[in-house]
Amino acid sequence: AQRELYQISRATALGQLGSSIAHELNQPLTIIANYAGVARAVLAADTPDLAAAREAIDDTLAHAFRAATMLKRLRNFIGRKPPVLQQVDVRTLLEESAKLAALAAKGVRAELLTDLSHVDFDVSADAIQLQQVILNLVINAADALRGCDDRRIRLQAWRTATGDATFAVEDSGPGLPPKLRHDVFAPFQSTKTDGVGIGLALCRTIIEGHGGRIWCDDDTELGGARFLFTVPHTAIGGTTHAA
């Protein structure tokens, strides 16, 4: 039953992917064809403009790599296995995640804020998958801070009255427009000009595979966006593994 829950969650997301992928891949493929045509026309001229041909070829390669990246992430998404559950110390998880997240923050000269003094509980989860979600959210937060004067990212976790764990990543960026909050976890929805929109869809599948939920709001002291996700104290998805 636990494995079936995960498969249902993933199948739902894959159904959304299937309805979007043809449209999303058509864009870079059309651009590739156009630039390739330009390069061929330029090279066929009596006096070829090699600089223009080189530029068209570079643009062709850039969009080909973008399409390849999209397919690679889709393949990873489809091939993802159910979470392997074990008791995870949340403070240790956040400390290890913060070390990696600091690199993303440093890349945009942002300050990474953490207060783990009150975090003293564990949760049944797949630590690697949860760390992937946290890092994805921090990277998104760092990207949102580009061009901002105030660059701060906060990583938090607390335990609810029911014993579940809630994690939050917030930033001091421009925030997320209300109309995007509902669709931001849908496949191929991205606020980045060069994004492919797989990251948050993958995060949602991971968290729902743990029996939790993920959402975003603007209830943040830093003034930007805040992404939160919960993991039940006893996760209802995946397979158990002795630590």
Q: Are residues 142 and 51 in the same domain?
A: no
**Residue 77 pLDDT:** 56
Residue-level pLDDT at 43:
93
Return left, alpha or beta for 109; rule: phi > 0 is left, psi -120 to 50 is alpha, else beta. Answer: left
Instruction: Answer yes or no: do 69 and 96 share one domain.
Output: no
What is residue 188's predicted lDDT score, i.e. its pLDDT?
54
Specify whether 108 is located in the same domain as 13. Answer: no
Give yes or no for residue 119 having a pLDDT over 90: yes
Better pLDDT: 11 or 54: 54
DSSP 233: S
Residues 114 and 226 in one domain: yes
110 and 19 belong to one structural domain: no
Residue 206 pLDDT: 86
Sign of the alpha-carbon torsion through 184, 185, 186, 188? positive
CB 67 within 8 A of CB 28: yes
**Residue 5 to residue 17: CA distance in whole angstroms:** 19
Last residue of a domain, one of 27, 48, 78: 78
Helix residue ranges per DSSP H, 44-171: 50-78, 90-107, 127-144
Picking from 78, 110, 125, the residue at the C-terminal end of a domain is 78
Which of 215 and 70 is assigned the larger pLDDT?
215
Q: Who wins on pLDDT, 58 or 233? A: 58
Residues 59 and 132 grouped into a single domain: no
pLDDT at position 190 is: 55
If asked whether residues 132 and 26 sit together in one domain, one would say: no
SS3 of 196, please?
Answer: coil
- The pLDDT confidence band at residue 220, using thresholds 50, 70 and 90, is confident
What does the alpha-carbon distance between residue 137 and residue 154 come to, in Å, rounded to a whole number?
11
Q: How confident is the model at residue 159 (pLDDT cuts 50, 70, 90)?
A: very high
Tens digit of pLDDT for each residue in 161-194? 888 999 999 999 998 877 776 678 776 555 554 4
pLDDT of residue 154: 95
CA angle 106, 73, 182 (to 5 degrees): 80
Within this chain, do residues 120 and 156 fall inside the same structural domain, yes or no? yes
pLDDT-derived band at 129 (thresholds 50, 70, 90) equals: confident
Instruction: Mention every residue, 6+ apart, whose C-beta is less than 8 A from residue 129.
Output: 83, 206, 209, 210
* pLDDT at site 194: 47
Q: How far apart are the first and last CA of the chain?
A: 22
Sheet with 214-217: list strands edge to edge.
Answer: 111-114, 152-159, 165-171, 226-231, 214-217
Q: Name the nearest CA neighbour of 83 among 214, 202, 228.
A: 202
Mean pLDDT for the chain overall: 80
Close Cβ partners of 192 (under 8 Å, ≥ 6 residues apart): 143
Here the tokens at position 189 are: 């929805």
Could you say which of 53, 78, 103 is where a domain stops? 78
How many distinct structural domains can be found in the chain?
2
pLDDT for 140 beyond 70: yes
- Claim to verify: residue 120 and residue 217 sit in the same structural domain: yes
Cα separation values, 166 from 81, 138, 219, Å: 23, 16, 15
User: How much is the pLDDT for 2?
Assistant: 47
| Cβ atoms of 134 and 169 closer than 8 Å | yes
pLDDT of residue 35: 87
Using the predicted structure, report yes or no on whether residue 75 has a pLDDT greater than 50: yes
241: pLDDT strictly greater than 90 = no
pLDDT score for 150: 94
- Give the CATH number of the domain where residue 210 resides: 3.30.565.10
Does residue 33 sit in the same domain as residue 137? no
Say whether both 35 and 135 belong to one domain: no
Question: Do 117 and 40 share a structural domain?
Answer: no
What pLDDT score was predicted for residue 184? Answer: 81
Q: Which domain, by its residues, includes 43?
A: 2-78
- Ranking 15-19, 58-62, 203-207 by mean pLDDT, the lowest is 15-19
